[in-house]
Every structure is written in structure tokens, then in C-alpha cells.
Structure 1
């Protein structure tokens, strides 16, 4: 199978590219050239910025991909470019979306006052009623935040039957190479034998996660299985623990015997107080993807955490005996 991947050289994209190569597919990459590895040197590369995609239409048609994978469609205009460029030169499109499309996300942010939608959220759960979720976040340094909206991306791509699309809604991802280091703050506290403080409702909050190699395998399956055409799927862990349970699982693997302390918001240190409405959970239901495409996670949650911890240890500066004993 010939596959053209847009932006597939980063955190999850590089894993997808590797898995496609291992399976023997012919892969071409469109990217800026700022993140790549020697492993990818043998592939066909098209170098350009996202807004230059239409300039490569003739070259894409010459490559004639069976499937186009778009890892980074952020705005409606970008999705429109994809439709215009690829409608007549590929059989199918797979595009990456996000769990931030769901209505519970705007509830979490305090943007709406509707009752929380029950979890786990299926693909048919209500979507956000507001648009451009990151436009007003001053602290966010993101090139496309003014026009970012995955709902508009999904709508644009699903409205064109001449280009059958698959939408994959991703969870929070973790694993080696993850820039946000989601678990590192907890690990630091564990290594320093400190209690972990959470807001009372926050401790019970559920937010779907996914280990990067498992998510990459799921994306690879959607790319290579034509049964995914025209479908929307949630990706992520089969069941979503509470934040307290997730932190405890992390602690168990580093032999941490500390305490998770829950307090009312106003009793937490100011740097831990977040203006979020924790009753709005972001746990998604992945049953559809498992049943329709036969997906099974290759990496267990425990092993995924172990590998993530091993990588995060390289980012820790603590060299105390306590930290060394926890890392064994």
C-alpha cells in the first residue's frame, strides 16, 4: 500500500511511520524537515509548511497514494486544503482529531453550565457548542490557536463523499519523548517522599490516556484497514481510571509508600489551584474501534508505565539515595 503521511515525524507520527515501514508499505512524508531521523532517510520526502500543501498537488498526484494520513489538521482551512488537494488522487483519508471535541470539555473549562454528559463518552456523545477552544488562552504558545477547532476539521472532512475519511479522536498521550512530561511532577514528589496534593473532586476525575506505541498501532490499523472508511473512532485505553488511581498505579511501580491527600480547592497551595470543573469527565469509550477493527492493545498499561518511568528517570535531577531506590 502507498501511504502519504502529513506531519508524521513527531511524537506519535514517527511511531506510525516506523510501523508502516515494518509492515512493508511504501511511505512518503510531507513535513517541514525540522524533526526527522536517519531511519526515515530512505523514504520519499516532500518538504514544506502546512499552508504550502496545495503547491505540491502535482507531486502528490504523481506519487498517487492509496491512503493519506493527516496527523496535524488543526483548522477548517487546513482541512479544506486537504480535500481540494487529495480528492482526485487518493482513495481514502485518515485524520487525527481530539477528545476536546466533546461537550464535557467546555464544561471542564467552565465555558458552559450544562449538566455533565455521562462517561465513558461514545463517538455519538454531544460535541462542544462553542468554537475555537484555545483562542483566549494567553499562556498557550501555539501557532494555530486562533483558528484551531477539531470539530470544524471533522465536519469539513466528513462532508465530501468523494474522499472517504476516517476520524480518529486521540486521548492524552504519554510515553518516551512526550514533551509535556505528564507524570514527571508526580514522580518528583514521589522520589522526594512528599505527599501528593489533589483537589477533592480532581482526585475522582477521569481523563482517557494512551501509550504512544499503542496509539500508533491503532492509527496504523485505521490507515491499512479499509473497513475504517467513513467512520469516527475514539482511541485510547480500554478503561479509564480516576486520577487518584492513575497516580497510585504510578507510585506502586516506583515503590512509593506516600500518601495522596485530597483537600478543598481553597486549601490547596495557590500553584495547585486550577479553575476547572472536575465533574466533567473526559473518559472516552473505545469499544467501537475494538469491535469493528479487532484492535487489541499490544502493550499492557503496567508495562507502558514502566517504560515511561524509565524514560522520565533520565529527566530527573535528583540523585538522593531515595530516588535511586525508587528507580530499581
Structure 2
């Protein structure tokens, strides 16, 4: 009997090597299709197809009439890829993202503001057509999901969609951690976070994100026509994430808090420049219960691996075209000085409210307040 076959569109990003290695361990003859611009020197030894995964002709030229048991689209124009392999694979797995949920982008369009948390897979999705004014074209994400599931309903393949949050790991094109790591390397005395980094966003370490796909590969019947949230089991606040990253880089980086409405480097540590939902906690009970998912790497170990790779590729990090942090320390110093002066100027006006809060009886418990804390 011939071995089962798999095609991975991507394969060289943060989730690529652990995903391909997992497929090989399962006995699948695996091929990857990507542009060829970002090879992994020590990646798994599998055949590569090079072409344009964002263009219908490029996809057709590279894939031709090929057939695979499993096709996994981790990047590229997923709608075009799904249409091309329709009827040529048994199981099509696509990776999408949390912006498909209504309220993630433009949270003030919903009442109450933002998302219903924890976010279940049946949370309302964004409209198929973008609403004006357009902040980010989320309609295309929704249309892609709809296309994949419609092909699944027609019997073209078993369709599975995995909704990723922010992913971290080596080779990540969006290296959010570098804004922390470089400040540690540069000896900065502090870094700015918006609103003290109080927001909580589900994240997924690369190894965990790849493992989630492999769980769906292992259970094709259960995963057919299903969407799954993917995220680390462990949740950390934005501030905790920054502190853990700094520790992994070998430093201690105190936090300076500025209001989220004020543009600052704090906008650069989270997707969409702090203009999306302030918090997004994904419910992952569905993938855990149906497919047996559990983290294979802790947040601390995942961040340590990420930072270690960054430290070994500093020039590549500084040249990353997706960096949104200017590392303009003189401007940061001026901004914080101006903010401190403004806070001092309004301190007198705020004093009555400080006094009111100071008179509150503490501590408060589920049974009510207890005077004197006894």
C-alpha cells in the first residue's frame, strides 16, 4: 500500500518545520509549496514546489493536476488554492485568523464594545462585504472561509478551518518580541506600554499552532466542516508578555504606562497598532474536546526559543520590513517627559477622586465589605 501524501502551502515560516516534521512522523509523504524566497537551511528534507501561491496561474503552474490526501494552506490566496485542489484531496485544512470575528477590528461598531469573551467559534463573524469606512478588509477573510466550507459541503473535500491568534516563534515575519528584545540589548531603562499593558490577548506558540493542525490531520472525520480556535492554554497580559520576553533576553525592562489613545511605541507590540479590540480571549474547548489538543510547549519555553533565534539573527531583525517600532529613544524620552508634566498639571484636579477612592472600605469580598480588613 502506498503512503498517504500531504501538501503544505508554506512550510518555511514559524509553524512550518514543526508541522512538516509532524506529518513525516505520521508517515505522510510530504511536499511543500512556497515562493522559494525564504528557505530554512536546516528544515525537514522534503520536496519543494516553487511558485506564486497568491495567483491562480502560479498555483496551476506549480501544482498542475497533482493529487494529495491532505492539503494544508498556511499562507497564500486560500480561496484560489482551495478551488484548485477541489476534488484532488480528501482533507483541506486552512489557516485563518481572529479578525474574522466581528468586534476584533473596529470594536466600537458593536454594542457592547468589542467581543463577547471568551470567544467561541459561533461568535458573530464579520460581514461578507466590508463596512465603510474600511479599517482593514476583513470581508475577504470571511469570503475565504465561506468558499472553503461551501466546497466542503459540495463534497470537494473535508474542510477544516483553524483560526489563529497572534503567533510567536522563530522566523516570524511579524516579530512583535523584537520591540522588547532590542530595548534590552540597547540598555533602555524602561519601555512604554499602552494602558499599562492590561489587555489580554490569546497567542499561539509556533509549536502549539502546528500541533493544532496535526490534531485535525489525526481526526479527519471529526474535523470535517469544522472551524476551531487555536491558542495557547496559558493566558498572559500584554505586560506579562513583555516582561517574560525581557527576561528571556536576559534583562529587566520596567514598564512606563501611557494612555492607549496616545500614539506611542506601545502601539507597536500588538497587531493593528492597538486600534483593534483591547482584549481577545479565545475559547479553545472545542479543539481540546473534539481533537484532543493540548499545548506541547509552554509560553515561557516558546518565548525563550523565539528570543534565542532573534539574538542569533539580529541584523535580520533590524532589517525586518514589518517592524513598526522606530526605536527613536530621544522621541520616547520627550514623550514621557511631556506626559509626566501633563500629569503633574492635572494632579490637583484629580485629588477629590483620589480622596473618595481612599475612603472605600476594604477589603471587599463576595460576602461584602469588611471594615478594617478583619
| TM-score under structure 2 length normalisation | 0.69
Secondary structure in 2 matching 1:106: coil
User: Superposition RMSD on alpha carbons, in Å?
Assistant: 3.1
The residue number in structure 2 matching 1:122 is 120
Is the counterpart of residue 224 in structure 1 residue 218 in structure 2? Answer: yes
Rate the CA distance shift 1:280–1:263 in 2: closer, same or farther, 3 A.
closer
Rate the CA distance shift 1:129–1:47 in 2: closer, same or farther, 3 A.
same
CA contact (8 A) 1:106 1:130 kept: no
Point out the more displaced range, 229-238 or 272-281.
272-281
| Structure-to-structure mapping, 1:36-115, within 5 angstroms | 36-37=39-40, 43-50=46-53, 51=55, 52=57, 53-55=59-61, 59-60=65-66, 64-74=67-77, 78-79=78-79, 81-108=80-107, 112-115=109-112
The CA deviation at 1:199 is 2.2
Rate the CA distance shift 1:21–1:126 in 2: closer, same or farther, 3 A.
same
Q: Any gaps of 5 or more consecutive residues in structure 1?
A: 138-144, 318-328
Secondary structure in 2 matching 1:36: coil
| Structure-to-structure mapping, 1:283-302, within 5 angstroms | 283-302=281-300
The residue number in structure 2 matching 1:324 is none
Rate the CA distance shift 1:106–1:130 in 2: closer, same or farther, 3 A.
farther
The residue number in structure 2 matching 1:27 is 30
Rate the CA distance shift 1:221–1:256 in 2: closer, same or farther, 3 A.
same
CA contact (8 A) 2:68 2:88 kept: yes
Is the counterpart of residue 233 in structure 1 residue 228 in structure 2? Answer: yes
| Structure-to-structure mapping, 1:179-194, within 5 angstroms | 179-191=173-185, 192-194=187-189
Rate the CA distance shift 1:260–1:28 in 2: closer, same or farther, 3 A.
same
Secondary structure in 2 matching 1:297: coil
Is the counterpart of residue 14 in structure 1 residue 17 in structure 2? Answer: yes
CA contact (8 A) 1:27 1:44 kept: yes
The residue number in structure 2 matching 1:174 is 168
CA contact (8 A) 1:105 1:128 kept: no
Is the counterpart of residue 282 in structure 1 residue 280 in structure 2? Answer: yes
The CA deviation at 1:165 is 0.2
CA contact (8 A) 2:93 2:162 kept: yes
The residue number in structure 1 matching 2:150 is 159
Q: Any gaps of 5 or more consecutive residues in structure 2?
A: 316-374
Match of 1:242 among 237, 240, 252: 237
Match of 2:304 among 300, 303, 306: 306
The residue number in structure 2 matching 1:142 is none
The CA deviation at 1:291 is 1.3
CA contact (8 A) 2:128 2:139 kept: no
Structure with greater Cα Rg: 2
Match of 2:199 among 205, 208, 214: 205
Quote the Cα distance in structure 2 between the aligned partners of 1:204 and 1:217: 29
| Structure-to-structure mapping, 1:261-272, within 5 angstroms | 261-265=256-260, 270=264, 272=266
Rate the CA distance shift 1:132–1:220 in 2: closer, same or farther, 3 A.
farther
Rate the CA distance shift 1:147–1:117 in 2: closer, same or farther, 3 A.
closer
Matched pairs, number: 298
| TM-score under structure 1 length normalisation | 0.78
Rate the CA distance shift 1:281–1:90 in 2: closer, same or farther, 3 A.
same
Rate the CA distance shift 1:24–1:40 in 2: closer, same or farther, 3 A.
farther
Secondary structure in 1 matching 2:127: coil
Quote the Cα distance in structure 2 between the aligned partners of 1:244 and 1:296: 25
